Structure 1
Amino acid sequence: MSIVGWMIIFCEVMFWVVILLGLVTRYIFKRKSLGLFLLALTPVIDVILLLTAGFDLYQGESATLAHAIAAVYIGVSLSFGKSMIAWADQRFQYYVTKQGEKPRKRYGMDYAKHYFKSWGRHLLAYIIGVGILVGLIFWIGDPARTEALMGITRIWSLALAIDLVISITFFIWPPKPKGISSSI
């Protein structure tokens, strides 16, 4: 595996380690400012990954699937990072500290709207990630060295379209709580 592949794994692990440390510091040790600082470090992890991938390509390496996934990771992290931290924060408060509201399951139109909002975040992640990929393609300027980047762009475009279709279906057939059937 390339250095970029290992950095993706390292950055994903560090993302969750920093979040966990931030939550423990915030709620267990009652150090809210330090906890907030640790949670605010998550974008730094993205910068480290971006610099690693960029430096690797600058050194003359051909773009690989790992470089493309690094761009996807950065887009997803920037777009979904705040909501992932809020998700973890709510569950940590409820399940670990026994405070806060119990996380609720969504059903019906509430679920459909929430999923569509998530699709909007997916679109933002796509714009950021594909922007990075296109930037790398133009920066390298050699189609033979950037074929993997274009391949991920096409796959992600298809995934975004499929996610939109799924999002729309939830407005047509919204999920219901278990045990409740529709009477047609």
Structure 2
Amino acid sequence: MNHIAWIIIACEIAFWVVIAIGLVTRYVLKQNKLGLIFLALTPVIDLILLVITGIDLYGGAEATTAHAIAAVYIGVSIAFGKSMIEWADERFQYYVTKEGPKPLKRFGMNHAKHSLKGWLKHVLAYLIGAGLLAGMIYVVNDPSRTEALSGMVKIWSIVLGIDLIIAISYFISPRKEKNVNQ
């Protein structure tokens, strides 16, 4: 595994560690502002990954799948970051501090609409990530060194289409609530 892959792993771990520290600071230590500062650090992690990836490619490295995944990671982190933090916040309040409401389970049209909103976030992630990939391809300006990047755009385009089909399927066949009394 190359160094960019390790940096992606480190950034993903750092993302969740910063969120955990933010939530503990906010709810356990009752330092709301300091907790929010920790939670606001998550985009800094994306910036670090972007800079390191860009320097590596600009320095002559051949683009690998790890470089492409870095762009995907950044797009997903930006598009889904706030909702991932809200997801973690909601569960932390309910399961750890026992102070928040039980996390909502979605069914029927509520689930279908939520899934479609998730797909729209996926589109945003795709636009950001594919834009970064296109930018890296443009800066490197050597198709033989950027095949992994253009290949990732193709794969991600297919995944985005599949995600749309799944989101639409929930409107056709809505998720039903399981009856626990039977």
Residue correspondences, number: 180
Which ranges in structure 2 are unaligned for 5 or more consecutive residues? none
SS at match of 1:100: coil
Which ranges in structure 1 are unaligned for 5 or more consecutive residues? none
**Post-superposition shift, 1:179?**
3.6
Cα distance in 1 between the residues matched to 2:100 and 2:166: 32
**Post-superposition shift, 1:143?**
0.2
**Post-superposition shift, 1:111?**
0.1
Show the counterpart of 2:102: 102
Cα distance in 2 between the residues matched to 1:123 and 1:93: 30
Show the counterpart of 2:150: 150
Identity of aligned pairs, percent?
62
Q: Which structure 1 residue ranges, 4+ long, deviate > 2 Å from structure 2?
A: none
**Post-superposition shift, 1:167?**
0.5
**Post-superposition shift, 1:46?**
0.2
Show the counterpart of 1:23: 23
SS at match of 2:145: coil
**What RMSD in Å do the two structures reach over aligned CA positions?**
0.9
TM-score between the two structures when normalised by the length of structure 1: 0.96
**Post-superposition shift, 1:2?**
1.4
**Post-superposition shift, 1:178?**
1.6
Matched residue type, 2:90: Q
Show the counterpart of 1:12: 12
TM-score between the two structures when normalised by the length of structure 2: 0.97
SS at match of 1:30: coil
Contact 2:58/2:139 (8 A) holds in 1: no
Cα distance in 1 between the residues matched to 2:150 and 2:58: 18
Show the counterpart of 1:47: 47
Cα distance in 1 between the residues matched to 2:133 and 2:98: 43
